[in-house]
Amino acid sequence: MKGLSILLGCILAGATSLSFAAEPSFTDFTITEVFAGPNHAPVPQENSNQWMDEARAQALAGKVNFAGHYVLHRMGCGGSTMCVEVLDAQTGEIATGLPNAYDGNALALSYRPDSNLIIVYGITVDTEEDLMGKPLKNLYRTRYYEFVNNEFRLLKITDS
C-alpha cells in the first residue's frame, strides 16, 4: 500500500509539473552576435506614404533592439489599433510584422537585442487561433513567439 501511495504521488507530481511548464525565457533563445551598425536606410515601399517612410527612417536611426539585427517599430494602423513591423537594420527591408493588430490601449511587448524571443501582451483586434488552430475569443493574453527566418512562430499562449 505504501508503494502505491508513492507511485501515485510521483504521477501526480509529474502531471502537475507538465501543466505548469516554465515560460519561455530570453536566455533560451539567445542570439550570439548583435549588429552594431551602421544601419541601412529604409528601402522604399510601393504601398507606403510619407508618414510611414519617415517613421521607418526614424526607427532605423536607432539601435538594433531585437533578434540580432532587427528593429521593432510600432505604428498606428487605424482607429486605436497598433501594428508592429520588424525592420532589418542590415538591409533596410521590412522583414515582417506581428501576426495581428492589437488594441493600442492594451499592448505591451518584451524583447531584447540578443534574443529572438518576443513576448506580446494584449488584446488582438482580429480573431486569433491557439496552437492547434482553434479560434479564440478576444481576451487579454500573453503570447510567446520565436522569430525564425523572418517569421513569428507561436510557442505558447496564455490567458492573463
- The arithmetic mean of pLDDT across residues 38-65, rounded, is 95
**pTM as predicted:** 0.84
- 2: in domain: no
11 is a domain residue: no
81 located within any domain: yes
- Tell me the longest C-alpha to C-alpha distance in the chain: 76
Per-residue confidence band for 2, with pLDDT thresholds at 50, 70 and 90:
low
Domain limits for position 45: 23-159
Whether 78 is covered by a domain: the verdict is yes
- Domains: count for the chain: 1
Residue 88 within any structural domain of the chain: yes
* Per-residue model confidence as pLDDT tens digits over 21-48: 689 999 999 999 999 989 999 999 998 8
Q: For residue 10, is it within any domain?
A: no
- d(C-alpha 158, C-alpha 160), whole Å: 6
Q: How far apart are CA 138 and CA 151, in angstroms?
A: 23
85 HSE (CA, 13 A, CB side): 19
At 106 the three-state DSSP class reads coil
Cα-based distances in Å from 66 to 7, 37, 58, 76: 46, 14, 16, 20
